[in-house]
Structure 1
Amino acid sequence: MSNNTAQESSLTLIKALFDFNACNIIETHISWVLLIGKHAYKIKKPVNFGFLDFSTLEKRRFFCHEELRLNRRLAAELYLEVVPITGTPDHPQIGGIGNAIEYAVKMVRFPSGQLLSKYAQREQLSTDQIDQLADSVACFHQTIAQAGENSPYGDSANINHWFVENFDHIRPLLVDNGQKQQLQNIQQWGDSEWRYLADLMQRRKQQGHIRECHGDLHLGNMTMINGKVTLFDCIEFNPMLYWIDVISEVAFLFIDLLHFGYNRYAYHFLNRYLQHTGDYPGLALLRYYLIYRALVRAKVSLLRMAQQQDDDTVVKQARDEYTVFANLAEQLTQRRSTFLIITHGYSGSGKSTFACQLAEQIGAFQIRSDLERKRLFDYRPLEQTGSNIDSGVYTPQASIKTYLHLKELAQAVLEAGFPVIIDAAFLKAGQRDLFRQLAAGCGVPFHIINFQASDQELYRRIKQRQDDASEATVAVLHQQQRSAQPLSEHEQASVITLNTERDDVLENLLDHFGRYLQ
């Protein structure tokens, strides 16, 4: 059966199912979703785009079962079973007897208004939803299967293939010469960047960062169910597109948040994710994958347009979406200014709180010493180490090891082309000098934010602290105050001092660092 004949037969079947069940239909460039009562039935289109081949009934059956398997990892309550469609295209029956003429994935139906993409369109996304996303994705990535060294997944040549494949699909669908030139410029950047990063891509595979991921991690594939963010609709049709570097996965959500104008949330998400995983070296690949993901979204927009050319509304929306994502890709080819900020202050002074807020406002990465110290010594973030002052993970030797580790991570972020805030007490001059030298070596501006609060407020904050990686007590605070080495006159040129008992702390930070806004 030819592709045209198969598509005509499928259209007949879909129309018959629609007429018989009086259902609603959602159409994408690769599937139809029939909404019938409390359930949804997803039927794959008989299409072959090269990167995706649903051209035969057997292939569609196989990929229905793959869709079920992969999505049950994240949304077992939504994905029920694969059901046959029997009868004839003119008189089909879902789940009937006889030979299958098509297959569908049966799912629990949920309100489309609960999609996170809808929340974003209504400007209703919340930090709680972003926190849930970061925690869920980080946990997922740390537990899913890793690609073997002998598998084809994650090889730098294959990564380059899928990057370049976007241009092959996009270019024939462009008519504007300016957009064609823009696309050519992005491709030239991608070719150069891939040659620079190819060895790192191979090392990432050896280090276990190529995993059986979701593959299509954007807000349209996330929904709220009983107050919980639930991820669904994993890619199933091509393992090359979901056996990927975890940084490629998070880049997809990051670019989608940028697309909706949630720049601050994009950095909030990625900061929280990295604080869970510690994968700061992966940032060296972030821009490459961000541009790749923007191109994927641009390509999908044009493919949808090509399929529905008679619908002027769809065509305009697709062209507008293409322009947004192509412009994002172009902007990301330009490296931004980087800088190094360290915090300074006693426990309870507000360092972590305001470093977090500043990082997401100016598009920086916040690296927390409390988390990295525990990671170094194999403790979970909220796990109590049982260490006392100058013992366990808080000995002078452990602190030296921690600050050297923080320096390595800071250097990785700076070399990746991103600004970084190191969130630690930095009460010793030698600790501060280590990072001043790093900034000088990397040729970036260096700043110290000196956070202050009254003793009474420090005591109150420490005593009220809950669910935090810090194990500081009032006794620890007293030890810090006795042993701290004050900021020198030489250091003052790099210092901004803030009283965190005031209400305008973030405003003052943004006034000072506003030149670094994204």
Structure 2
Amino acid sequence: MSQNLIAALQNPDLYPHEVDGFQVIETHISWVILTGPYAYKLKKPVNFGFLDFTELSGREHFCNEELRLNQRLTEGLYLEVLPITGTADAPVLGGEGPAIEYVLKMRQFPQSQLLSTLQANGELNTAHIDEMAQQIAHFHTHAPQVPQEHHQGTPEAVMEPVRQNFEQIRPFLSDKADLLQLEALQAWAEASFTRLKPLFEQRKAEGFIRECHGDIHLGNATIIDGKVVIFDCIEFNEPFRFTDVYADTAFLAMDLEDRGLKSLARRFISQYLELTGDYQGLELLNFYKAYRALVRAKVSLFSMPTEASPVQRAATLRQYRNYANLAESYSTIPSRFLSITHGVSAVGKSSVAMRLVESLGAIRLRSDVVRKQLFGEQTADNSLGGGIYNADASVATYKKLHEMAGTVLRAGFPVVIDATYLKREQRDAAAKVAEATGVPCLILDCTAPDAVIEGWLAHRQAIGSDPSDATLEVVKAQQASREALGADEVLHSKRVETHNSKSLDTLIADIRQRLPGL
């Protein structure tokens, strides 16, 4: 494909719509021609090994694949594939006769609305992250499973690109410290692979290898009509797309952490897990995050010019080291703990738990969510002690919460269980989980004035998006029947005034002081 064609396509007479002007965005694999209302994407005739666009038939095929695959997460963004006929100097868009090229027509959106741009401008917020978590969780839950006989998702297939990273990075490095770090990272990856191999096999057998997106990061998400839209999935390489859902999820988490947004990364993971319930695979998260970070590290080295100047080489190595250090951070052993909230409904326990997620990397388990996952969204007879809130349902809910907590702790992450824990036997059961996994247990004794609780409860009911069904009658009954913390429990509890932000700040500081590895 010649530059002549790209130049010739910048002619407003070729398009069946108004053209506001032309702008061409070029990457190593494509050109995108912006016209104002629509964008037209052409694939370059290149072969990089992991993709091959050298044949016209291949470019047509992958244009259609890009259209098909991206419609899974978008609506009205990817529109159609059109042939370009005529000649490179006098092209016709969608004309008759033999095609000389193919183009993917898309709805154009402002580059200023990319989440990466919003982040750079300090405008990315928790609502964007929560929306991404919801979309990705729904997408992964419904994505087609890769057939069992397919090689992708086997332990060998998982480890092959991990080892390839180290092989391809090493020739670029000469500094002893860089080489020693790479050697340590490779040793950690191999040791992790040996330890995790049974889990990789289990994930394959249980259908968690799916047709994923393959390239989820802030640069591939934008705001359209007020909603987050995730676009530009991997269409050109099945192995990049046929992967464990955790590999997909880890990419966004790593990208957020690379941008210094660790609290948002932690929030994203915890929210995603609440929606999918896929806690069994959590032990894979850091393995895949390290892999993704080293892919970025490798790409930064690949981008260095052959005859790089000392300044260019220093800049490239600085970028490489940032990603290598990020990968190394995922190999450290974190401090673990089990914390449980204690307090009536609407006292602010969920907000306290989310602070532990964002500040300390805990995984939040919510009784309201787990209860409805176990028993469904029943609304009949959900009064105090009725329906899914009867005694047997509550016993089952706490049992499930404690099983999940054990899974998360064994995966190497701290846990905060967001539940009322008004009964001593419930708190004792949680303490046994902590004892069995060898971690400290902390009770977060959540309090707030009655007027504040009533106000929060009314606000929550008005919004109608909270999983809790608690009413003021329920809260009053809880206050009357709650079992106070025993003297032995007070010794490992922290009182939290949920309406006082300083109380929350003090809580986080105290936990960090006790567990400096956080």
Q: Same fold (TM over 0.5)?
A: yes
Q: What secondary structure is seen at the aligned counterpart in 1 of 2:470?
A: coil
Aligned twin of 1:438: 433
1:392 equivalent to 2:387? Answer yes
The residue number in structure 1 matching 2:396 is: 401
Partner-residue secondary structure (3-state), 1:343: strand
Match of 1:481 in 2: 479
Residue equivalent to 1:280: 279
* Contact kept? 1:498, 1:505, Cα under 8 Å: yes
Q: Is residue 2:226 matched to residue 1:227?
A: yes
2:140 is aligned to: 141
Q: Is the 8 A contact 2:374 2:397 kept in 1?
A: yes
Secondary structure of 1:73's match?
coil
Aligned residue in 2 for 1:248: 247
Which stretch of the first structure deviates more once superposed, 445-454 or 140-149? 140-149
Partner residue of 1:360? Answer: 358
Determine the C-alpha separation between the residues in 2 that align with 1:263 and 1:197: 25
| Deviations, residues 332-355 of structure 1 (Å, cap 9, x unaligned) | 111211111111111122111221
Write the deviation string for residues 248-296 of structure 1: whole angstroms up to 9, x where unpaired.
Answer: 1111110110011111111111221111111122211101111111122
Confirm or deny that 1:448 pairs with 2:443.
yes
User: What residue is the counterpart of 1:218 in the other structure?
Assistant: 217
**Letter of the structure 1 residue corresponding to residue 419 of structure 2:** A
Q: How many angstroms apart in 1 are the aligned matches of 2:99 and 2:311?
A: 36
Tell me whether 109-118 or 153-162 shows the greater mean CA deviation: 153-162
**CA-CA distance at 1:237 after TM superposition:** 0.9
Alignment of 1:253-264 (within 5 A): 253-264=252-263
Residue identity matched to 2:278: D
- Which has the larger displacement, 22-31 or 504-513? 22-31
Residues 18 and 513 of structure 1: CA distance in aligned 2, closer, same or farther (over 3 Å) = farther
- Residues 316, 140 of structure 1: alpha-carbon distance in 2 compared, 3 angstrom cutoff: farther
Match of 2:170 in 1: 171
C-alpha contact 1:75 1:230 (8 A) present in aligned 2: yes
Distance in 1 (CA, whole Å) between partners of 2:10 and 2:132 is 39
Distance 2:183 2:238 in 1: 28
**Counterpart amino acid of residue 496 in structure 1:** K
Residue 502 (structure 1) aligns with: 500
Residue aligning to 1:205: 204
SS at match of 1:100: coil
Partners of 1:257 and 1:274 lie apart in 2 by 17
1:333 corresponds to: 331
Aligned pair in 2 of structure 1 residues 182, 428: CA closer, same or farther (>3 Å)? same
User: Residues of 1 paired with 2:312 and 2:224: CA distance?
Assistant: 29
Question: C-alpha distance in 2, partners of 1:52/1:345?
Answer: 56
Match of 1:159 in 2: 158
SS in 2 for 1:59: helix
Alpha-carbon distance in 2 for matches of 1:301, 1:394: 54
Is the contact between residue 498 and residue 504 of structure 2 (CA under 8 Å) also seen in structure 1? no
Query: 1:15 Cα deviation (Å)?
Result: 5.6
> Partner amino acid for 1:487?
L
Change (3 A) 1:15 1:104: closer
- In 2, distance between residues paired with 1:447 and 1:190? 33
* Residue identity matched to 2:415: V
Cα pair distance change 1:360/1:385, threshold 3 Å: farther
Summarize the Cα distance change of 1:191–1:54 in structure 2 as closer, same or farther, 3 Å threshold.
Answer: farther
Give the drift of 1:315: 7.0
Question: Which range moved further: 149-158 or 308-317?
Answer: 308-317
Q: Aligned-pair distance for 1:305?
A: 3.5
Partner-residue secondary structure (3-state), 1:485: coil
Distance 2:314 2:223 in 1: 29
Match of 1:188 in 2: 187
| Cα-to-partner distance string for 1:219-245 (whole Å, 9 max, x where unaligned) | 000111121111110100111111222
**Contact 2:63–2:81 under 8 Å retained in 1:** yes
Contact 2:448 2:499 (8 Å CA) reproduced: yes
Provide the C-alpha distance between the structure 1 equivalents of 2:342 and 2:374, rounded to a whole number of angstroms. 22
What aligned pairs does 1:38-187 form with structure 2 within 5 A after superposition?
38-89=37-88, 92-187=91-186
The residue identity in structure 2 corresponding to 1:259 is: D
2:222 aligns to what SS in structure 1?
strand
SS at match of 1:388: coil
- What secondary structure does 2:136 align onto? helix
- 1:346 alignment partner, SS class: coil
Return closer, same or farther for 1:385/1:507 CA change in 2, 3 Å cut-off. farther
> What one-letter code is carried by the residue in structure 1 that aligns with 2:128?
Q
CA distance in structure 1 between the partners assigned to 2:187 and 2:89 by the alignment = 50
Q: Once the 2 structures are TM-superposed, how far is the Cα of residue 83 of structure 1 from its aligned partner?
A: 2.2
User: Residue 359 of structure 1: SS of its match in structure 2?
Assistant: helix
CA deviation after TM superposition for structure 1 residue 88, in Å = 4.5
Displacement of 1:310 in angstroms is: 7.3
SS in 2 for 1:504: helix
Letter in 1 for 2:338: L
Q: Deviations over 1:428-487 (max 9, x none)?
A: 112111221221221212111101123343334334323211111223223323332221
Q: Give the percent of matched residue pairs that are identical in Structure 1 and Structure 2.
A: 44
Q: Is the 8 A contact 2:5 2:89 kept in 1?
A: no
Provide the TM-score with structure 1 as the length reference: 0.90
- Structure 1 gaps of 5+ residues are 1-9
Instruction: Tell me by how many angstroms 1:498 deviates.
Output: 2.1
**Structure 1 CA distance, aligned partners of 2:8 and 2:186?**
43
Question: What is the letter of the counterpart of residue 57 of structure 2?
Answer: E
Specify the code of the residue in structure 2 equivalent to 1:441: A
- Identify the residue that residue 321 of structure 1 maps to in structure 2: 319
Matches within 5 A, 1:9-20: 10-13=1-4, 16-17=7-8
C-alpha separation in 2, matches of 1:491 and 1:423: 18
Residues 303-343 of structure 1: per-residue CA shift (max 9 Å, x gap): 3445x877999877654433322211111111211111111
Note closer, same or farther for the CA distance 1:314–1:77 as it changes in structure 2 (3 Å cut): farther
Pair 1:328–1:302, CA change in 2 (3 A): same
Q: Tell me the distance in 2 between the aligned counterparts of 1:311 and 1:145.
A: 47
> Structure 1's 186 and 115: CA in aligned 2 closer, same or farther, altered over 3 A?
same
Aligned amino acid, residue 146 of structure 1: Q
> What SS does structure 2 have at the residue aligned with 1:465?
helix
Q: Is the 8 A contact 1:82 1:103 kept in 2?
A: yes
Which residue of 2 is the match for residue 429 of structure 1? 424
More divergent stretch after superposition (132-141 vs 168-177): 168-177
Report the Cα offset of residue 64 of structure 1: 1.2
- In 2, distance between residues paired with 1:311 and 1:103? 39
Out of 416, 429, 433, the position equivalent to 2:411 is 416
Q: 1:385, CA displacement in angstroms?
A: 5.3
